[in-house]
A = this chain, B = another copy of it.
């Protein structure tokens, strides 16, 4: 079971955090960016080359500290197909280094289209007699606004390929409550989505008690995080909002069960851009990223003990 593997990686590295790989060209140290733009010109291909080399350096520096990485598709899509090529290569490189890869794509659709997304990100594609992987991550994020027709096709691929997903339940942004906190019957909307997702995933529970249907729950609403942890006992949580968005280690401890399991906390820019604060013009980006990831791990470990 795919979340079992993630939990075991978390335990082995004593670190329940995931490093976001959300790279914009301006996050890339100048010496790396310059080499690529000198080679390819000021083109999307040049930017993509720089970002790939930066990603490889980050993965090399982080792969024995963090259990997982989470590339955010938007930053690759904005470089067109060149960006999607290096996203494929980044996922492949990270998995080869033993990392669990969460493709943060927030996809959503119904029926055969949802199935096509699931195949794209988690599955294999039939071409003639061949069955070929495309982006081939371990896990993806989805948006459940379309109801079970929009979640089930993803779960079917998860079962077939031993993979898993996170459905957006309560997001970390200031306006998340506009829709998600509305009272709908005797629940609020995010509970409706969380309950639906839990029900769809319930037939398939791994050895640590978690189903394949995880949930995104933001660190910035710690009381919601706490109540959702109790409500959704078989739902693994991906928790954005730590750090820059204001969530603290004290807040995110509510995401974990009594064994310190069942959640992973994301940080992106604080790790990727750590070099911007050391005064060495990015020559030390690997050391800076590693130190930032270790500091985050140690911050959270003050409040969470992983059994």
Q: Which residues of A contact B (CB under 8 A)?
A: 22, 24-25, 37, 42-44, 46-47, 72, 74-75, 77-81, 83-85, 87-88, 106-114, 116-117, 119-121, 125-130, 132-135, 143-150, 168, 171-180, 182-185, 189, 192-193, 196
- CB-defined contacts of A108 to chain B, threshold 8 Å: 106, 108, 143, 168
- In angstroms, Cα B178 to Cα A185, docked, is 12
Minimal Cβ-Cβ distance residue in B for A50: B127
In the assembled complex, the CB of A51 is this many whole angstroms from the nearest CB of chain B, namely: 11
Assess A83 versus B134: contact at CB under 8 Å? Given A74-B107, A77-B117, A116-B24: yes
Interface contact B171-A146, CB-CB below 8 Å: yes
Q: Indicate whether A74 sits within 8 Å of B113 (C-beta atoms), given known contacts A79-B134, A179-B189.
A: yes
Contacts of A111 in B (CB 8 A): 173
Pick from B42, B129, B171: contact of A128, CB below 8 A: B42
Least Cβ–Cβ distance between A16 and chain B, in angstroms: 23
Once bound together, how far apart are the Cα atoms of A3 and B257, in whole Å? 50
Say which residue of B77, B178, B189, B192 sits within 8 Å of A121 (CB atoms).
B77
* Separation of A257 and B193 alpha carbons in the complex (Å): 34
Tell me the complex Cα distance, A180–B132, Å: 36
Q: Cα distance A120–B81 when bound, in Å?
A: 10
Complex CA–CA separation, A212 to B234 (angstroms) = 41
Residues from chain B with a CB closer than 8 A to the CB of A177 are 147
Q: A22: which B residues are within 8 A, CB to CB?
A: 113
Do A132 and B168 form a contact, CB below 8 Å, given A109-B74, A173-B149?
no
Complex alpha-carbon distance, A106 and B172, angstroms: 20
B132 touches A43 (CB 8 A): yes
Q: How far is the CA of A177 from the CA of B184 in the complex (A)?
A: 13
Q: How far is the CB of A165 from chain B (nearest CB, A)?
A: 15
Known interface pairs A44-B134, A75-B113, A77-B134; A193-B171 also in contact (CB < 8 Å): no
CA distance A300 to B179 in the complex (A): 34
For residue A126, which residues in chain B have a CB less than 8 angstroms away from its CB? 25
Contact B125 A78 (CB under 8 A): yes
Complex CA gap A180/B176 in Å reads 16
Please determine whether B149 and A78 come into contact, CB atoms closer than 8 angstroms: no
Determine the distance from Cα of A96 to Cα of B294 in the docked complex, in whole angstroms: 51
User: Are B72 and A113 in touch, CB under 8 angstroms?
Assistant: yes
Whether the Cβ atoms of B44 and A132 lie closer than 8 Å is yes
Query: Which residues of chain B come closer than 8 Å to A185, judged between CB atoms?
Result: 182-183
